[in-house]
Each structure stands twice: as structure tokens, then as C-alpha cells.
Amino acid sequence: MVEDTKERIRAVALELFTAHGYEQTSLREIADRVGITKASLYYHHPSKQALLVAIVEPLLRDWRMMVERLEAVPHTPEHVRDALGECLNTLLRHREACALFARDVPALLTAVGPVLVEAKELGTRMNAWLAGPEPSQADLVRAFAATEVLNSALASAVMLPSVPQAELRATLLDAAAAVLGLTQADPTTGTAGRPGL
Amino acid sequence: MVEDTKERIRAVALELFTAHGYEQTSLREIADRVGITKASLYYHHPSKQALLVAIVEPLLRDWRMMVERLEAVPHTPEHVRDALGECLNTLLRHREACALFARDVPALLTAVGPVLVEAKELGTRMNAWLAGPEPSQADLVRAFAATEVLNSALASAVMLPSVPQAELRATLLDAAAAVLGLTQADPTTGTAGRPGL
DNA sequence: GTCTATAATTAGATAGAC
DNA sequence: GTCTATCTAATTATAGAC
């Protein structure tokens, strides 16, 4: 395969960055694990920062697409529930990179500030949509809390490894919906109720 | 005052660690900001690690006391709601140190591993109590998600600075309760309902 | 208690041979 | 593409004068 080494470096780096943090991981560690030297690593990735960007970029692209898809849709209870589900999917699809984002903010901020700024902006837009049109301050807080519930999927997988992912997904989706004041979805129809609208 | 400098160092260090991360903050920065040199800093705190421990210890002590108080109390809806409130109070009382814990896990793990291990254990015990006796897997996940909702108070304060703290507190408390399946508290009596038990 | 000076280590990054 | 060897800069930490 072409560029095989480059990909292997990326994979190893993601793993080590997520496990020990960006600053705590040296390029020597990554190179050792891949089975090459630091100098060879630099042949494929021009800097540690660039390596991080290469890791984080795909996640950001997916996230951007998701938010844009979202904003084209009206804020109804069904769409809100769907949005939470899609958000959870995106989170789980990029689980490791998301964990890196969530757990290593300060390091990423100094290393790739602009990238984190866009990530934060996407989060804000997502929350704004979730809060609905003309939101109260409580709506904004609830939207924020709901996304945190979904985020907890990352930590839950580590803290509660015995819970199967399907159950984790379903439970967190209901929990996030509950935070937003949506009632439980009807399991027979998959349709959510419409309270407080 | 006795030990005034030592306290000033602690305060500045907490501020910088929280803002830029533990690894990203050098002792030179801290010393500069306090208005002394690195060598003087070492007179008061024997190492960077010890400085971190001095910062984190009070938070851990409060947290430990809270969890122990909690475990002595039966798992009823009212007590659960009270527990969420107490948890939120502890979180807000140590806001900066908590933010450091939440945002800089990898750095803290390598610097003060054992301390983080105890923090994690306390979190686990808190979640176990919240999940109730003989919890289902869904109960465990919900307990975890509920604490994440409370945690979001730290980030909310930054992301939604216009929301007054009282409203933030009340909204998050209701949100966490909703995650656990408790209904809205009656605003006139402050008593929660008892659904699904 | 605070300073100057410096040791010891490590990191990211580069030059140039093969 | 990968290597050996090296550079530069920054960090934690210490020694010892005042």
C-alpha cells in the first residue's frame, strides 16, 4: 500500500495521544512503537503539530457536516431526537479522537488553537440549534447539558466496560432527551411525545 | 501574614494550571507572575508535583467527605435530589480545581497518578450510590450521565457567561434529576415526585 | 527568604550519508 | 525512506552567596 507508514504513524500517535496526552507523548515514543526513528517520522509528518492536525481533521470534517445538515432542519421534537442520535453516532465513530478533544483541552489549545476554536464554534452552533428558536437562558443550559450527556458515552465506555454499546446508546439517548424535556420515545412506534411546546 | 508567599504561589499556580494546563505552565511563569524567582519558589514548594498536590488536596478532602456523608443515607428520591445539589455545591466551591481535574486528565495522571486514582474511585462510589441498590446496567449509565450534567456547570460558566449562577444551578439540578428519572420538583414545596419506583 | 548561576535532562527539529 | 549524529531551546531542580 502507498503511504502505509504514514498511516501507521497516525494510528499509533492517536492511540498514544489519547492514552497519555499530547504533551506527554514524545515523538521518540511514537517512532519506537512504529519501529522507525524520529528522523524517519519527520519524513512523513513535518512536525508534531502537523501530525496532530492530521489526526483531528477527519473528526472535525464529519462534525462540521453534521452541524450543517442539522441547521437545515426545523426544530421539532422528532428532529431533535434524531439530532441527538446522529450526534451520538458521530461521537462514537470518532471515539478516540473525541476522547482526545475532551480530555486534553489545554494541550490542544496551545498546539492547534485555531482548530479548537472551530470545534468550539461547531459545538456552540449545535447547542444553539438544540436550544431551539428564541431560547430562554434555561433552554441554552439544557442544550449544553444534553450534549454533555452524549459526551459521557466516551468516559462510560471506559468506566462501565460491561455495558453493551447498544444499551449504552439507547440509555444515553433517552437521558439526553429527558434533559431537553422530551418524554420517553414510544418503543413501538419510535415516535417521541410533544410535551411543553 | 505567615506563609503569605506560599499561598500566593498556590493561587497563581492554580490559575495558570487551569488556564493553560499543568504541563504547559512552567515554574518560571508562576514565579514571574508572583514576582519572585524560580529558586525562591522551590524554597516554599519542594517540586512542581508537590505544588500540584497542595492545590488538589483540599478539593479531594471535601469530595471524600461528601461521598462518605452520602453513603450513610438511604437511596430515596428526596435524598437523591439533595445529593445532586450537594455534589453541585462541592463542584462550584472548588470550581477552578475541578476544571483542572476535568480538562487536564493526562497531565495529572502522569504527575499525580495515585491522587487521580482516588478521585476516580470517589467518582465511582458516588455513581454507585446514585444508581441505587441492585442497579441495572441502565441505572449505572444514567448515574454516570447525571454526574456529567452537573459537571457541565464548569464549562457552562465559560460558554454561557450571561446566565446567572442561581439559574444555572437550578436548571442543571433539574436536568440531572430528569436523567435519573425523577420528575420535576414541586416549586412550592421543594418535594420531588416518586416516579418509576 | 530571595537571589545568581548552573547542572542535568529532554524535547522538537535538521543535516547529510546511504 | 530510513538511518546516525547533532543542534537548539526549554524545563525541572540544585548549590551556594547574601
* Interval A3-56: pLDDT, tens: 799 999 999 999 999 999 999 999 999 999 999 999 999 999 999 999 999 999
pLDDT higher than threshold 70 for residue A2: no
Show Cβ contacts of residue A20 under 8 Å, excluding neighbours closer than 6 positions: B106, B109, B110
Closest CA to D10 C1' — which residue?
B26
Where residue B197 falls among pLDDT bands split at 50, 70, 90? very low
Interface of A with B (CB under 8 A): 19-24, 103-107, 109-110, 124, 127, 137-138, 140-142, 144-146, 148-149, 151-152, 155-156, 159-160, 162-164, 167-168, 171-172, 175-176, 178-179, 181
CB-nearest to B138 from A148, A149, A171 is A171
| Cβ neighbours of B82 (radius 10 Å) | 14
Tell me phi and psi for residue A104, to 5 degrees.
-130, 35
Tell me phi and psi for residue B104, to 5 degrees.
-130, 35
pLDDT higher than threshold 60 for residue A190: no
Q: In the A/B pair of chains, how many CB contacts fall below 8 A?
A: 138
pLDDT single digits (tens) A95-133: 999 999 999 999 999 999 999 999 999 999 999 999 999
Go through the domains of chain A in sequence order and give each one's CATH number.
1-45 (1.10.10.60), 56-179 (1.10.357)
DSSP states of B26-87: -HHHHHHHHTS-HHHHHHHSS-HHHHHHHHHHHHHHHHHHHHHHHHTS---HHHHHHHHHHH
pLDDT single digits (tens) B51-98: 999 999 999 999 999 999 999 999 999 999 999 999 999 999 999 999
Closest to A124 in 3D by CA, of A63, A181, A177: A63
The spacing between the Cα labelled CA in B112 and the C1' in C1, in angstroms, equals 28
The spacing between the Cα labelled CA in A20 and the C1' in D16, in angstroms, equals 38
Where residue A195 falls among pLDDT bands split at 50, 70, 90? very low
pLDDT higher than threshold 50 for residue B10: yes
Element (H, E) at B120: helix B113-131
CB-nearest to A175 from B145, B162, B171 is B145
Instruction: Extract the C-alpha cell encoding B175.
Output: 436536568
